[in-house]
Chains A and B, each alone.
Chain A
Amino acid sequence: MSWLHPIRSALTRSGILLWGLPLALLIGFFFFPMASILGVMFERPGSIILRDVWQPLGFTVYQALLSTLLTLLFGLPVAYVFARFDFTGKRLMRTLTMLPFILPTVVTAAAFNALLGPRGWVNLFLMNITGAEAPPITFLNTFTAILVAHVFYNIAIIIRVVGSAWSQLDPRLEQSARVLGASPWKAFREVTLPLLQRPILSAALLVFLFDFASFGVILMLGGPAYQTLEVAIYTQALHYLNLPMAGLLSLIQLSCTLVVMLIYGKVNRGQQVQLFPRLSGEGTRKPRTAAERWIVTLTVVFLFLLQVLPLGALVARSVTRLEADRGQRGAVQTGLTLDYYRELFVNQQQSIFYVPPINAVVNSLEYAGITMVISVTTGTLLAYALVKKPAVRRWLDPLIMLPFGASTVTLGLGFVVAFNSSPLARGSFPWLVPLAHSLIAMPFVLRAIQPALASIPASIRQSAAVLGASPFHVWWNVEMKLISRALLSGALFSFTISLGEFGATSFISRPDNPTLPVAIFRYLSQPGAMNYGQAMAMATILILVCALSLTLLENLSHALVKSD
């Protein structure tokens, strides 16, 4: 195409940039650390104990399977209600269900801690009326806590993926089955369920993948008794300093994830059946019968209990004094307080960090900003490279998605192994954290931008050119404007991911320069009401930032749907 010539020659000239920058990032900060892990494994193979491999592996698979089943069990009815009924507050509810999904695991842990932990609302309330000395409910450090948190975390995937497929499903299909003599159950079994098979399977695989790689939830809610592969990698590396063992566990973790991802890719391959595109809202209606009203009410109550209550408990706990602080004796003045927020700015002598905790907020925002710039730049470049060269995509796609499959803990371990003795050592190179975050965020950014870029019809570019737009103007006035929303949502995603990232950060952040999640984790593991309160305050700040970015994301995707 002749009009493409200037672009193409520019591409071949800047091709090095187009591919080079993202590839350099991948090679230098993903494949090199992964290779370093392999290297360390063969250095000292003696320190590997097989029993310590089988146990976490078995438990990881077991808890992931169970969590996925539970998430499906609770998520499918909610997906149905969202797909078929209109009710007041539905949009707010839908946004709220998304919130846990983008919340840092640390916050999730803190939220359940605030509700059901030994210092949580429920226990303090029960202790208050019964006069008991010890908290009557043990929720933390139980298997139940893990399962509940996983459902809390991942139910959004089922609601989103299955719910959207369900609402796209033409209700007339089910109606025509009914006209042909099928009972409601039969119509569901014979028509709806088969049509939803693929979205259900793909959502379940995604949930399984997340549960399989669960780290923060297990570490903070499961306690020492429960070890997934991720937690095992963490303890082997940071507590026992057994790097070969951690490396082996990472390798197993990575291979398992890759297998699941391959299956996921197989399930989603091929044309997703476009089931009669119709005007949105055609399939939803207000609940009519008493039974339908009950279903909707129950769903709302369930979601409230599961998701709003823990988060509400957390926020409320951050502004309430309920128990004595360290060094205080006698009756405590209970009531509302902003002390925990105020303390964030104070550099306490006995504080864990020797710097005002607000530094963690500043650090996190700074890292998130850098992450956003790196991952959006490289993600956009990669998206261009992939869209312009679809032939390369087939084999490059999985390569790029590898960082997505590798767990964050593995990445953190890789960074520690690879850069501990190099000029990039974590003591001297502050960009290590945002670089790790960028690798974790880049696949998300790519997934946001690539489809937007690919969906621009060739005729749009061509008609701009025919109307007199030079290649630069086609790029700037048409392409960039058309993908601006995708760019923005990629930016928001990467910002939020960086803000909440815990697994990799716990390996590579410098002790005197913690991020918010790391600080929350440390505060939670310290005794004392003030530390607890500050953890709650910091977690609340994270919730607010995440909620803000989620609202923006939701508005963006609404605007996207509208302009389609």
Chain B
Amino acid sequence: MDRLEVIDLYKEYEGKALLNGVNFHVDAGETLCLLGSSGSGKSTILRIIAGIETPDSGRVLWQGSDISAVPVYQRNFGLMFQDYALFPHLTVAENVAFGLRMHKYPRQAITQKVNEALERVNMTSFGSRHVTDLSGGEQQRIALARALASDPHLLMLDEPLAALDRSLRVEIQEELRTLLQQTGIPAIYVTHDQEEAAILGDRLALLHDGKIVQCGRTEDVYRFPASRWVAEFLGMTGLLEGTVSSTDPLGVETECGLLHPQLLPNAASPRPGEQVTLLVKPTHIKPEPGSISAGTITGTVEHARFLGDHYRIELHLCSGTRLKFVSSSPLPPGQEMTLPLRAQDLLLLPE
């Protein structure tokens, strides 16, 4: 079973704890997006898995066995560096062939596999070009082809799109997604861009303060962010502070009135008087018949941006915080409005 497990990684960097007990796993055929702000240690985790760095403590298991003693060049994991790290003295084809040569493939097989790899990234005609003559996007594709050429057990991508401009990034995101699904190689994709993570990841793992603070299917993470930090990191608005006033039914007193939030799955019930954060995610501007009301929230429309087929409304909430939500019709700025909230629109987040 192609399964990578990372167990209790600890790593100090310049006297500070960078990794503080990191645990996660990647299963066969899935792409895990490792998401965290820059400097959070994402790349270090990749480098430990690749064998370039050693953790202070902790283990990396591949197919159930500890690979700490296996040197980097015998692991056959693919790692794509943020700066691509193409060999400037070699041509495109020679770059792609490098790993195959090192793994002692016969010459014919090398030619064939190089062609296959270049085909996969639509760069067949570039074989004899010098890598220094390529554009950023082209270099990115060659780096990917090189990482994939020798059929690695696991592919790791370290912010592979960070150096590209936005339009190219969006284009390549789609290609990458398809490619990762086609090859079926388990992959770890490191990024600090939550949109990219949402597009590419089957699962997300969020790294914060040296720990994985949430790990799960992408939709689940977005639906139930595990903490205020996660919600903010994923770019969510509509966070309200409040005090728990009753537990059955759950009631939280906020500046915008009494609200009845939902608990996260498996979350413990808060005690009365506890300070909590609520996440407001309105989906409708009119009450839905038949849904259980969790309360209402009022605010002033700041502006409505037309985004092609819908409007993004920005609301100034009664508490002074901002709330963005999507609506099919525009709303005039300055208009006071009261939004109905269903139970699933209102989450209680642990601090």
Contact = CB atoms under 8 A, between A and B. Distances in A.
A462 B73 contact: no
Interface in B64-82: 68, 71-79, 81-82
B71 A462 contact: no
B132 interface: yes
Nearest to A468: B102
Interface string A253-275: 00000000000000000000000
Given A1-B53, A2-B54, A463-B79, A468 B85 contact: no
Given A3-B71, A6-B71, A464 B52 contact: no
A3 B77 CA distance: 14
A470 interface: yes
Given A1-B53, A5-B71, A469 B81 contact: no
Contact of B146 (A5, A467, A564): A467
B50 interface: yes
B233 interface: no
B24 interface: no
Interface string A441-461: 000000000000000010110
B133 to A, nearest CB: 10
A482 B72 contact: no
Q: Is the interface of A mostly helix, strand, loop or mixed?
A: helix
B325 interface: no
B51 interface: yes
B89 interface: yes
A3 B88 contact: no
A186 interface: no
B87 interface: yes
Contacts of B130: 563
Interface string B247-262: 0000000000000000
A468 B73 contact: yes
B245 interface: no
B98 A469 contact: yes
Given A2-B53, A457-B83, A481-B89, A466 B132 contact: no
Interface string A464-478: 111111110100011
A467 B68 CA distance: 17
Contacts of B99: 467-468
Given A5-B71, A465-B73, A470-B73, A459 B83 contact: yes
A1 B54 CA distance: 6
A462 B47 CA distance: 9
Given A1-B52, A2-B71, A465-B52, A563 B102 contact: no
Interface string B116-131: 0000000000000010
A279 to B, nearest CB: 13
Interface string A520-564: 000000000000000000000000000000000000000000111
A478 B51 CA distance: 19
Interface string A1-44: 11101100000000000000000000000000000000000000
Contacts of B54: 1-2
Contacts of B98: 464, 467, 469, 477
Nearest to B98: A467
A467 B81 contact: no
Contacts of A482: 87-89
Contact of A2 (B51, B83, B89, B146): B51
A3 B51 contact: yes
Q: Which one of B52, B68, B71, B72 has the greatest number of beta carbons of chain A within 10 Å?
A: B72
A478 B87 contact: yes
B150 interface: yes
A462 B85 contact: yes
B305 interface: no
B223 interface: no
Contacts of A562: 132
Given A463-B79, A465-B52, A466-B50, A473 B132 contact: no
Contacts of A563: 88-89, 130, 132
A454 to B, nearest CB: 15
A564 B77 CA distance: 29
Interface residues of A, number: 27
A465 B72 contact: yes
Contacts of A484: 89
Contacts of A462: 47, 50, 52, 72, 79, 81, 85
Given A2-B53, A5-B71, A466 B79 contact: yes
Contacts of B150: 467-468
Contacts of A465: 51-52, 72-73
B110 to A, nearest CB: 13
Contacts of B107: none
Contacts of A6: 71
A470 to B, nearest CB: 5
A113 B51 CA distance: 66
Interface string B307-328: 0000000000000000000000
A3 B72 contact: yes
Contact of B87 (A1, A464, A466, A473): A464
B177 interface: no
Nearest to B156: A466
A460 B81 CA distance: 9
B103 interface: yes
Contacts of A481: 89
A473 B52 contact: no
Nearest to A481: B89
B328 to A, nearest CB: 48
B145 to A, nearest CB: 12
Nearest to A462: B52
B71 A466 contact: no
Contacts of A468: 73-74, 76, 99, 102-103, 150
B52 A466 contact: yes
A396 B278 CA distance: 61
Nearest to B130: A563
Nearest to A456: B88
Choose among B52, B76, B77, B146 the residue with the greatest number of A CB atoms under 10 Å from its CB. Answer: B52
Most chain-B CB neighbours within 10 Å: which of A2, A469, A482, A562?
A2
B74 A466 contact: no
Contacts of A1: 52-54
A478 to B, nearest CB: 6
B85 A459 contact: yes
B89 A466 contact: no
Contact of B102 (A5, A459, A473): A473
Contacts of B81: 459, 462-463
Contacts of B82: 459
A471 B324 CA distance: 54
A424 B175 CA distance: 70
B89 A467 contact: no
Contacts of B51: 2-3, 465-466
23 contacts: A1-B54, A2-B54, A2-B68, A457-B85, A459-B81, A459-B82, A459-B83, A460-B85, A464-B87, A466-B52, A466-B75, A466-B79, A467-B99, A467-B150, A468-B103, A469-B102, A470-B102, A473-B73, A481-B89, A482-B87, A482-B89, A484-B89, A563-B88
Given A468-B102, A469-B98, 13 more contacts: A1-B54, A2-B51, A3-B52, A462-B52, A463-B79, A464-B102, A465-B73, A468-B74, A468-B99, A469-B73, A469-B102, A482-B88, A563-B89
Interface of A: 1-3, 5-6, 457, 459-460, 462-471, 473, 477-478, 481-482, 484, 562-564
7 closest Cβ contacts across the A-B interface? A3-B72, A468-B102, A467-B99, A459-B85, A463-B85, A466-B79, A2-B54
Interface of B: 47, 50-54, 68, 71-79, 81-83, 85, 87-89, 98-99, 102-103, 130, 132, 146-147, 150
